[in-house]
Chains A and B, each alone.
Chain A
Amino acid sequence: MKLKGSFWVALLFLALGLFGIIQSLTFGYWESMMLPLGISIIIFILAAVEVAREFKRRGEKGTAAATEATAKDSEHKAENRRLGLIFGWAAGFCLAIYLLGFYISTPLFAFAYLKWRRRSWMVAVVFAIALLAFSYLVFAVGLKVPLYKGLIFGAH
C-alpha cells in the first residue's frame, strides 16, 4: 500500500532534526550548542516515533479501507490541482512584485485573477482600480510608507 503524505511529513521533520543535530555540533560554545542540540534531538526522536507509526499504519488496513482510500485519492488529486494553481498565482504575483513593484503588480494581478475566475471585464477592472487606489491612498499618501518599486523601476 502506498505511503501516505503523513509519512513523508514525519520524515521531513526527522530530516529537520538530523540537520539540527549536525549543525549544532559545529557551533563551538556549549552556550550556543545546548538548546539547538537538545531541541533537535527531541525533534529527531519524536519524528522517528511518528515515522514508525505511519509506516506501521500502511500495512494495517483491509480492503474496505483501500476502497475508501482510492475514493479519497481522487478527491486529493483535485485538491492538489487547485492548490498547484493557487500557489502558482501567488508565486507569480510575488515575482511580479519583485520585478515591477507593488503599484503595477497589484492591479495587474487582481485583474488577471478575476478574469481567470471568469468574472466580467467591468468587475475585474473596477476591483483592480479599487485595490490600487486603496493601497496608494493608505500607504503612499496616508502613511508615507514607501512600497517596493521593483527591480525594473527602482530598488526601493
Chain B
Amino acid sequence: MLEAYGIAIATLFQPLNLLVMLVAILIGLIVGIIPGIGGGTMVVILLPFIFRMPPEVALILLVSLHAVVFTSGGITSILLNMPGESFSAATLLDGFPMTKKGEGGRAIGAAVTSSMAGGIVPVFLALAMVPLVMPIIMAFGQPEMAMLVLLGISFMAALTGGSVIKGLISGAAGVLLSLVGYHFVTGVHRFSFGTTFLYDGIELIPLLLGLFGIAEIFHLVMRGETAIAQKAVVKLSGVAEGMKDVWRHKWLWFRSTIIGYIVGIIPGVGAGVATWVSYGQAKQTSKHPEKFGTGVVEGVIAPEAADNAKEAGSLLTTMALGIPGSAIMALFMAAFLMVGVEPGPGMLAEHLPLALTLLLGIALANIIGGIICLFAAPQLVRVASAHLDFLFPVILIAALIGVYVATPSPLNFVMILVFGIFGLVMRRHGYSRPALILGFVLGGLLENYSLLSIKIYGPFFLFRPISLTLLVIMILLLLYPQLKRGISGLRGRLSGT
C-alpha cells in the first residue's frame, strides 16, 4: 500500500502531468463560471482525444478539470445570481444577497474555501471507505432513496420566506412543473400536449437561469439601479474574511461535507439532495435561522461543501464498483474504458497506483484551483459594480448561450424569458423561488422512488429500519429550533429553582 502511494505521488508530480493538471484547472475554472456549461460538456469534448494520450495523463486531465468546476461554479451564483453549475442554485440564496450588501469578496472567499476543502477531505476518506461503499449502496433501496429525497423536500419549510402559504404554493408549483413530460412508470405523457419539446419535461437550466438570472437583471433595471452592488469591497482582506468564516463554522462545514459525500456515494439520489439538505440543516441548526436568505455566510458554506464533496463520493463508487452515480460519472466510466482501465472491484486491485493518483490529483487540483480563485476573487468582485448598461447584455447573452448549449432548441429562448417574467412576478409578490426550485429538482424523484417502493414493497414501505431512521432524522431536524428552545427553557427552570 505504501509503495502504491509512493508511485502515485511520483506519477502525479511528473512535470508533464503537473502541466496537464494546470491547463485542466484553468479550463475547468472558466467552464465552471460560464452558466449552463458544466464539466460534463468539457469531458465530452475531450473524450475523443483521450485515445491518443497515456492513461494517467488522460485521466489526470479529466479529474482535474472536473474537480475545480464546482469550485468556480459558485462564483456566478454569488456575483450575478446565475448558477454556473446547475446545483450551485442553493449557494445563490445567500451568496447573491451578500454581494448586494457589498460582501461579494467575503462570499467568494467562503464559497471557494468551503468547496476546496469539501473536495479534499473526502479524498482521504475515500480509501478508508472502500469496503463500506457496497454495503451502503446495497442498504439504500427504493424506500430509502424516497426518504432521502423527502428529507430534502422537507426543508422546503425552511425556504418559504415571509409567507408560509406563498412558500408552499411555490414549492407545490415546482413539483407540478417537474411532472411535465413522459412518465417512466406508466408511459403516460403528462402536460406535454403531444409535443417533442416537452416530451422529456421542462429543463432545469432555462428554469434556473430564467427564475434567478434573468428575473434579477430585469428587477434591477426595472428599479432604475445602475449596478448590482453600489459598493463592493474589492480587497483581498474581504476574501480572507470569508476564508476565516469557514474555520469559524468548521463543524457546519464538516457536517455538510459528510452529507455531500454520503449522498454522492449512492447512485441515483440526485445531486440536488446533497446541496439542499446541507442548506436546510445549516438553517435549522443556526443560531439565527431567520437571517438565512438575507445574506449569511453559513448559507454559502454549507451547499458549497456538499456540492464538491458529493463528486468525490460519486467517483469512488464509479471506480470501485463500476457503477456510475451520475451522468458525468457515466462519462468518466467511458474515459476509463477508452484508456484500457475497467472500473470495478478489479480496478483497485490491478490499478491501485492509478486510482490513488486520481484521488490525490483531485485533492491537489482543488488546492491549486482554490488558490487561483481566491487571488482572482477581488477582481471578479468588480463585476458586481459594473454598470448595468454593460452587464445586462452580458448576462442575457451568457444565459441564452448557456441555455442553448445545455439543450439546443430555440424554444428554450422563449422558456427562459417566460421564466424570467415569472421569477420577477414571484419576487415582487413574495413567492419563494428557492422553494419552487427545490420542488422542481426533487418532486419528480420523490414520485418515482415512492411509486417503485409501493410496487415492490407495498404501501408500508416506510417501515424499514433505514427509512424509519431517516424519517426520525427529518422530524428532529424540522423541530430542532423548537426542541432547542424547549431544552434551554427547561435548563433555565432547573437552574433557577
Contact = CB atoms under 8 A, between A and B. Distances in A.
A147 B409 CA distance: 11
A19 B387 CA distance: 42
B400 interface: yes
A148 B183 CA distance: 30
Given A20-B176, A28-B186, A97-B413, A143 B390 contact: no
A28 B222 CA distance: 45
B400 to A, nearest CB: 7
A78 B214 CA distance: 20
Q: What does DSSP make chain A's interface, helix, strand, loop or mixed?
A: helix
Interface residues of B, number: 55
B165 A49 contact: yes
B190 interface: yes
Contacts of B188: 27-29, 32
Contact of A90 (B41, B420, B446): B420
Interface residues of A, number: 56
B396 A90 contact: yes
Q: What does DSSP make chain B's interface, helix, strand, loop or mixed?
A: helix
A82 B221 contact: yes
Contacts of B424: 83
Contacts of B191: 23, 36
A46 B45 contact: no
A47 B397 contact: no
A61 interface: no
Interface in B133-183: 165-166, 168-169, 172-173, 175-176, 179, 183
Contacts of B54: none
B128 interface: no
B169 A97 contact: no
Interface in A94-122: 94, 97-98, 102, 106, 109-110, 113-114, 117, 119
Nearest to A132: B397
Nearest to B164: A46
Given A42-B168, A46-B172, A156-B408, A145 B45 contact: yes
A156 B405 CA distance: 12
Contacts of B34: 138
Interface of B: 30, 34, 37, 41-42, 45, 165-166, 168-169, 172-173, 175-176, 179, 183, 185-186, 188, 190-191, 214, 218, 221-224, 389-390, 392-394, 396-397, 400-401, 404-405, 408, 410, 413-414, 417, 420-421, 424-425, 428-431, 443, 446-447, 451
Given A39-B176, A90-B218, A94-B413, 5 more contacts: A32-B186, A34-B447, A83-B218, A110-B393, A110-B397
Give the 8 A-B CB pairs with smallest separation, nearest first.
A32-B188, A94-B413, A29-B186, A32-B186, A83-B222, A35-B447, A117-B389, A86-B221
